Amino acid sequence: MNRVFRIIWNAAKGLWAVASELATGLGKSAATGTPPSDLPLRAPEFALAKGLQACVAAALLAFAGAASAADCGNDKDVGKVPKCPSHPPAPAPAPAPAPAPAPAPAPAPAPAPAPAPAPAPAPAPAPAPAPAPAPAPAPAPAPAPAPAPAPAPAPAPAPAAAAPAAQAEGGEAKSPETAAAQSEPAAAEPDKKAITPAPAALAYSNEMPLFSALPAQLRQADLAMLGNLHRRIGDSGPDRQAWVRAVYTDLDIRQHGSAAPHSRGQVSGLQAGADLLGGSNWRAGLYVGSLNGDVDVSGNARGTFGRVGNTDLKSHYLGGYATWRDASGWYVDAVLQAGRHRYSVRPDGGLTVSGKARSFSASIEAGKSFALAENWSIEPQAQLIRQRTHFDDVSIAGAQVHQDTQAGWIGRLGVRIKGDIPTGAGRLQPYARFSVYRASSGTDVATFVGTAGSTVISGASGYTATEVAAGLSLALTPATTVYGELGRVSSAGGDARVKSSVQGTIGLRVSF
């Protein structure tokens, strides 16, 4: 049975193949509109072939189902595939796998853009040719020089001794300007060393105003120690006595001159003395004293006016005096005083320089007392003072300093009003004094001698000043008296301006 079914099955498969071939050929012919050349069929035949193919297919399916049911007959379920181990169902033809779509070719990578070529550097512009220099104009011919006038005959030089004689006769040192004018003929002589004129303020060092101011400072210190009779010992009786006093004076000195120094400071110290000889109306004695000074200095230096430094003064004195009194009210007081000085000049921004000096002062004072009223009197006074100062030469950086100070005179005219009043505390003698001082004109000269020449710095010394002072003496016991004075000095003119806002002294006197 199986064999019969297999034969019928194979015949049906062959018939299916023929019908499929006919249908395929006719289909291609119908699609193109032209029948194939080897099949003379027309459209009805193509339809017949397709119908035959469908019938064969249905018969094959029915035959296959009947054959399977007949062989296996054990499966009662309709519509199910018989489960016969000896006749497994033919495997369903695997569906033709769908052709894998051809992978789209990867797009060719875009070619990398060629790098832009670096721009060629622009060539540097050729420098413009320098213009040819204009031809220099031909110089104008120099005019013919005028014929020089015939030189005047040189005056015959004055005798060498005439200058010292004239200085001794006049008693005053010549100013640097006058000295320079008088030394012009001498400068032409080859055997004379020319003195360089004072330079402009721009070339002055700080030391120059400091040294120029020193003589005036020491003269005022000498005056503070010298004083006058009543400032020194107060109103005293006929007995011999010993005394001591404190001294204070502030200084304010402006001087005309090359460096125009301005000194401001103070001096203070002690003075003590005693009568060594005496009689009914006269006595004589000695005193010693010491002063310390601190003075700031301004002046022309380095092209401007301003502070240039400081001066430190240390002075020691020895003096002798003699005083005569008359019952009619006259008195005469004479004093000789010698001083030794040490100083230190401290220029701003420079090195301290120390030096020594000596001074000599002489004073003669006279006055006459006239009664005004009971216990009050007026006393005109006159005083004449001679001063001289000598400085040792000192060395500073690059120069030797030589000081020339002219001896000078100071005159004082004054009037004193005094009283004599008994009090419960003792005998009181108050007074007030007004004085006018006049210092003779002169010039202090500081010469700075260096390797390149000499520089002369001058400072004026003449002045006029007024003084107002008040003082008193108070007898604490018949033998002990305290005394003091306070005053002020104002400038009244002159080449130098000297003033003092405070001058004071206080002392103790003991009679024996």
- Cα–Cα distance for residue pair 266/309, rounded to 1 Å: 15
DSSP classification of residue 257: B
Please tell me the predicted confidence (pLDDT) of residue 1.
53
CATH superfamily of 201-511: Autotransporter beta-domain (2.40.128.130)
Residue 226 has pLDDT above 50, yes or no: yes
φ/ψ of 419, rounded to 5, equals: -125, 165
Give me 8's structure tokens. Answer: 């019928």
Which band of pLDDT confidence, cut at 50, 70 and 90, is reported for residue 202?
A: very low
| Residue 334: burial class (beta carbons within 10 Å; 0-12, 13-18, 19+) | middle
Q: What is the pLDDT of residues 40-73, one digit of tens each?
A: 445 555 555 566 666 666 666 655 655 554 454 4
DSSP classification of residue 425: T
| Residue of higher predicted confidence among 90 and 392 | 392
The set of residues, in sequence order, having a beta carbon less than 8 Å from that of 106 and lying 6+ positions away, is none
Nearest to 207 by CA among 404, 314, 345: 345
- Cα–Cα distance for residue pair 298/217, rounded to 1 Å: 13
Work out the average pLDDT over 281-296: 97
Query: In whole numbers, what is the pLDDT of the chain averaged over residues?
Result: 77
Which band of pLDDT confidence, cut at 50, 70 and 90, is reported for residue 150?
A: very low
Please tell me the predicted confidence (pLDDT) of residue 236.
84
Count the Cβ atoms, other than its own, within 10 Å of residue 48. 15
- Cα–Cα distance for residue pair 374/420, rounded to 1 Å: 9
- Cα–Cα distance for residue pair 233/247, rounded to 1 Å: 12
Find the farthest-apart pair of alpha carbons in the chain and give their distance in angstroms, rounded.
203
Please tell me the predicted confidence (pLDDT) of residue 57.
65
- C-alpha distances (whole Å) from 448 to each of 205, 296, 461, 492 are 11, 21, 20, 32
- Cα–Cα distance for residue pair 310/354, rounded to 1 Å: 12
In the chain, the amino acid numbered 164 is P
Count the Cβ atoms, other than its own, within 10 Å of residue 453. 13
Residue 179 has pLDDT above 80, yes or no: no
Q: What is the pLDDT of residues 485-506, one digit of tens each?
A: 999 999 999 999 999 999 999 9
Number of Cα atoms under 13 Å in the Cβ half of residue 159: 5
Residue 338 has pLDDT above 90, yes or no: yes
Work out the average pLDDT over 207-222: 95
Measured between alpha carbons, how far apart are the two ends of the chain, in Å? 193
Q: What is the pLDDT of residues 441-454, one digit of tens each?
A: 999 999 999 888 88
DSSP string across 322-337: EEEE-TTSEEEEEEEE
| Residue of higher predicted confidence among 402 and 171 | 402
- Cα–Cα distance for residue pair 17/73, rounded to 1 Å: 30
- C-alpha distances (whole Å) from 316 to each of 276, 287, 409 are 21, 11, 22
Give me 48's structure tokens. Answer: 């017949």
Edge-to-edge strand ranges of the sheet holding 394-396: 394-396, 399-404, 443-450, 453-460
Please tell me the predicted confidence (pLDDT) of residue 122.
52
- Cα–Cα distance for residue pair 98/170, rounded to 1 Å: 150
Number of Cα atoms under 13 Å in the Cβ half of residue 105: 3
φ/ψ of 417, rounded to 5, equals: -110, 125
